Structure 1
Amino acid sequence: MKKWLIGSLFLLFCLGRPFHAGAEQTLQQLIDAAPANSTIRLENKTYVGDIVIRKPLKIVGASHTVIKGSGRGNVVSIKSSHVVIENVTITNSGKSRDTQEEFAAIKVYSNYNTLKEITVKNSFHGIYLSKAHHNRVERVYVVGKNNGEIAGQGNGLHIYYSNFNQLIGNTIVGTRDGIFFDYSNRNVVKQNNVSRTRYGLHYMYSDDNEFYENEFMFNTGGAAIMNSNRIVLKNNKFLFNQGMRSFGVLLQMANDNEMANNEFYQNQRGVYIDQSNNNFLKGNTFLQNQIGVELWASSQNQIFTDNRFSKNITAVLRLGGEGNNQWSGNHWGEEARIFDLNQDGKGESPFEYTSSLHKIVEQNELAYLFFNSPSIRVYEKINELLQEEEVMAIDRHPIIEQARLSLQQIIGWLMIIGIGTFAIVKFQRG
């Protein structure tokens, strides 16, 4: 009984005691020697990778802790569940494309792990989840080469056959794709910031993911959703995604997705929909894009409601023929000629949005390069005068923004009415 008690007390002492990296041990040796479920606290120095973690552990760095890989593999490989890594900089993963495995700063092969407050530099992929579920990646900063070489680097966060993960508050700059999903379902992506990548978000064959409050800026494409269904995108910002065939969001062979309350500002195309059906777009703002929504006839049964279009070169561009899509209750901006005689905020009749730009786009894809040219506006105006524009969208119940008058404006109008009335009365009395 005494031996059992002494052994138990010793085990509890070990589990509660932080293990510090000493000069006499490598980081891998320290990890191997630490009891399961213990905490390892690292010093302000550079440790040598590559390391493999095969037991539940918590590894906490100091303000200048660096784990530097050999340049030939993963810097950190996690093969146990319930591993926590916090507050470290990780650098120098393998970058070779001649191996079966794509290397990363941290590669996770297991479930229920947490990666938090980590900086990744000079690595192929940043964080790679491989058949790993229920993990949390939070406040990770991944910086890539930002040199435009698509094959020269990997993705910031790469999610492969991995479900039920949470990606929260991460920042990714200059990688190939910011966040890439491949056959991964039911993940939550929230409050991430991605810039200067090819695609900020890239979905392939991944369903039922949720995507909230993220920001994508200065990418070739904000979010490319391909062969993926039932994705929810709410309260995200897609800003300044410009370039040849660029977009805020691309839906391609993507069905039953919901896009609500997102902001699309100064993109070449806000939303581009091709070979996709039954998508629902509500409450989105399309401001100063070249094209608000580009909609191909291969896509059917989209519903557009309560979206706001303002100051785009063209709000809607329908290509490849007519499609069966529904427009109802959208705001078409000040330039739309809509009458609201009874002042109920709704147009008195259906609104037809027309354009002639589809002609030059269908004839020559290079036309996108000239959408900011003044000649495009001249072309549209000429076709409008010649009545050669075509209907891009018919909104059955368009919404009119009610103008609000300031107190000074109200007083001004009352003065004008009063002066006019006085003049009329005086004139009548002769």
Structure 2
Amino acid sequence: MKRLVFICFLLIFFFIPARAMAGGELQKMIDAADDYETILLENKVYEGNIVIGKPLIVTGAEETVIRGDGTGNVVTIESPDVHLEQLQIENSSFARGDGEEYSGIKVNTDGNSFRKLIITDSYHGIYLSQAHENIIDQVEIHGQMDQETIAGQGNGIQVYYSERNTLTDNYIEGTRDGMYFEYAHQNTISGNEISHTRYGLHYMYSDDNRFQDNSFTFNIGGAAVMHSSRNEFTGNKFSMNQSSRSFGFMLQASSENHLEGNQFIRNKRGLLVEQARGNYIYNNEFSQNDIGVEMWASSSQQIFTENKFYKNRSPVVQVGGESESSWNEAGRGNDWGSDFPLADLDQNGTGDFSVAYQSSLHQLLEENELSYLLLNSPSIAVYEKMNQWMNNQRTMFQDDFPLQNREVLPVMKYSALILVISGALFGVQRRRRSA
């Protein structure tokens, strides 16, 4: 009996304290380090949660893991000039009862960088809270990939009251929103890939951001821009966002945003505009969407110029009435594809007559949201033909300066050349006969 008690005492004394020490090993290394020191971690699991309250560089190896205990943030940054690289971070708390939204990395300071990280099993991946001039680069964030429980998890990267941050070349999948910005201004976001989320990008009250060369696929919504102004979206790709109410890009209650050189391909709706004013949509491609642009009457003064509309089921639908927007600027309209053949006798690249598109599709969409499920049905074509026959259609757009279709322009030029040569030969032949 005494021997058994002694053995139990040894187990308690040696093994349980040893586990506690292992759990605090990384925190002790951090606490013991000097400011701006580099801590090199091994290929093993370090138990969290940890708090970094001094400028440090923490670099891992290929299989270095910082694993939280599931009760809070895995890593909390409380000092500027903290740099984390090549780490796997996992297992934050998912609890929300105390008002805290936990994260793999929670950042409350400025001038930090986070590179080549993999974050899993965390409510938010990285959360910037009143944190400015940070860099998030080449970070992978993996959510739970379960659409049924999407509300039970957070966002890949959340940026809250934070400015002048740079987010580049990150990969995010399976979270609620890929990137969520709220009262976040003057940030730069480029080269990111986001898929299988609710909204790939979600802006709320966020102005003057630059968003370029990002890719959004298989989301419920590619990008949702709400109550935000003067943002620039250039060179992004929004594709395969195809659930019943999906969109590639939504402008809602937002103004003076600039969309240039983006691709909207195979979405339920390429661009959705609602309660928006004065946005500039230039040189984008809308291709193979069910609806290229859906414009609600609550929106006004959008300018569409030099965009390409190719092979959409419906290029433009105006819902709830006519929206006061312009489909050309400075004598330059849009390329409406081969479905709208143009005459361009002076070969200046602009059609000699206006192009207008008539449709009755708006009636279905206004009356029943389930109509979006039927957009590719043959019955829609029948419905459109019937309303055309009954003269029951509305003008969806009128472009007074449509651009020559770039797919057929070389053929048109070649045909024009043949006509000129034929005319010249005919004239020569007539002169010979006269002689």
Contact 2:308/2:334, CA 8 A, preserved across alignment:
yes
CA separation of 1:226/1:23 partners in 2, compared to 1, >3 Å: closer, same or farther? closer
Q: Does 1:197 align with 2:204?
A: no
Q: Structure 1 residues 75-84 or 357-366, which shifts more?
A: 357-366
CA displacement 1:309-344 (0-9 Å, x = unmatched): 011110000011122111111000001142222222
Alignment of 1:13-412 (within 5 A): 26-148=25-147, 149-328=149-328, 329-402=333-406, 403=408
CA contact (8 A) 2:23 2:47 kept: no
Q: SS state of the match for residue 105, structure 1?
A: strand
Deviation at 1:174, TM superposition (A): 0.3
Per-residue deviation, 1:389: 2.0
Whole-Å separation in 1 of the counterparts to 2:89 and 2:55: 20
Counterpart Cα distance in 2 of 1:82 and 1:167: 17
Q: Indicate if the aligned counterparts of 2:24 and 2:48 stay in contact, CA closer than 8 A.
A: no
Q: In 1, Cα distance between the equivalents of 2:321 and 2:213?
A: 35
Structure 2 CA distance, aligned partners of 1:25 and 1:175?
Answer: 30
Aligned amino acid, residue 349 of structure 2: G
CA distance in 2 between partners of 1:340 and 1:404 (Å): 10
Q: Contact 2:255–2:279 at 8 Å: present in 1 too?
A: yes
- Cα distance in 2 for residues equivalent to 1:24 and 1:49: 7
TM-superposed CA distance for 1:282, in Å, is: 0.2
User: Residue by residue, what CA displacement relative to the aligned partner does 1:20-71 show, whole Å, maximum 9, x if unpaired?
Assistant: xx97970000000000001000000000100000000000000000000000
Distance 2:150 2:97 in 1: 16
Q: Secondary structure at the match of 1:380?
A: helix
Deviation at 1:373, TM superposition (A): 0.6
Instruction: State the one-letter code of the partner of 2:383.
Output: Y
**CA contact under 8 A between 2:110 and 2:134: conserved in structure 1?**
yes
Q: Is the 8 A contact 2:22 2:46 kept in 1?
A: no
> 129-138 or 315-324, which moves further after superposition?
315-324
Shift of 1:275: 0.6
The alpha carbon displacement at 1:405 in A equals 5.3
SS state at 2:379 partner: helix
Aligned counterpart, 1:15: none
Partner of 1:14: none
Task: Give the deviation of 1:151 after TM superposition.
Answer: 2.2
CA distance in 1, matches of 2:237, 2:37: 41
In structure 1, C-alpha distance between the alignment counterparts of 2:401 and 2:372, rounded to whole Å: 31
Distance 1:240 1:395 in 2: 28
**Per-residue CA distance 1:364-385 (angstroms, 9 max, x = gap):** 1111110011111222233334
Give the gaps of 5 or more residues in structure 1: 1-21
Does structure 1 retain, via aligned residues, the 8 Å contact 2:106–2:128? yes
**Aligned partners of 1:181 and 1:344: how far apart in 2?**
44
Structure 1's 228 and 405: CA in aligned 2 closer, same or farther, altered over 3 A?
closer
Distance 1:24 1:150, change over 3 A: closer
Q: How many Å separate the matches in 2 of 1:24 and 1:231? A: 45
Query: Take 2:238 and 2:54, find their aligned partners in 1: how far apart are those partners?
Result: 41
The answer for unaligned runs of 5 or more in structure 2 is 1-20
Structure-2 separation of matches of 1:190 and 1:39: 29
Secondary structure of 1:228's aligned partner = coil
SS in 2 for 1:301: strand
**Partner Cα separation in structure 2 for residue 23 and residue 203 of structure 1:** 41
Residue 249 of structure 1: how far off its partner (Å):
0.7
Aligned residues: 398
**CA positional deviation for 1:387:** 3.3
Q: What letter corresponds to residue 285 of structure 1 in structure 2?
A: E
CA deviations on 1:373-430 (whole Å, 9 max, x unpaired) are 1111222233334433211111121001253558xx98xx79x979x98xx99xx9xx
Letter aligned with residue 392 of structure 1? M
Q: What is the CA–CA distance in structure 1 between the aligned matches of 2:287 and 2:163, rounded to whole Å?
A: 35
Q: In the aligned structure 2, how far is the partner of 1:235 from the partner of 1:113?
A: 27
| Contact 2:316/2:397 (8 A) holds in 1 | yes
1:244-303 C-alpha deviation (Å, 9 max, x unpaired): 211011111101111011000010000101111000000010000000000011111000
Partners of 2:54 and 2:24 lie apart in 1 by 18
Give the structure 1 partner of residue 10 of structure 2.
none
TM-score between both structures, scaled by the size of structure 2: 0.88
Q: For the Cα contact (< 8 Å) 2:24–2:47, is it kept in 1?
A: no
Conserved 8 A contact 2:306-2:334: yes
Aligned counterparts of 2:162 and 2:181: Cα–Cα separation in 1 = 8
Distance 1:23 1:182 in 2: 38
Compared CA separation, residues 220 and 53, structure 1 to 2 (3 A):
same
The corresponding residue for 1:12 is none
Counterpart residue identity of residue 68, structure 1 = R
1:266 is aligned with what amino acid?
R
Paired with 1:23 and 1:324, the residues of 2 have a C-alpha distance of: 66
Superposed CA deviations along residues 121-155 of structure 1, whole A, max 9, x for unmatched, are 11110000011000000000000001011321100
Letter in 2 for 1:262: N
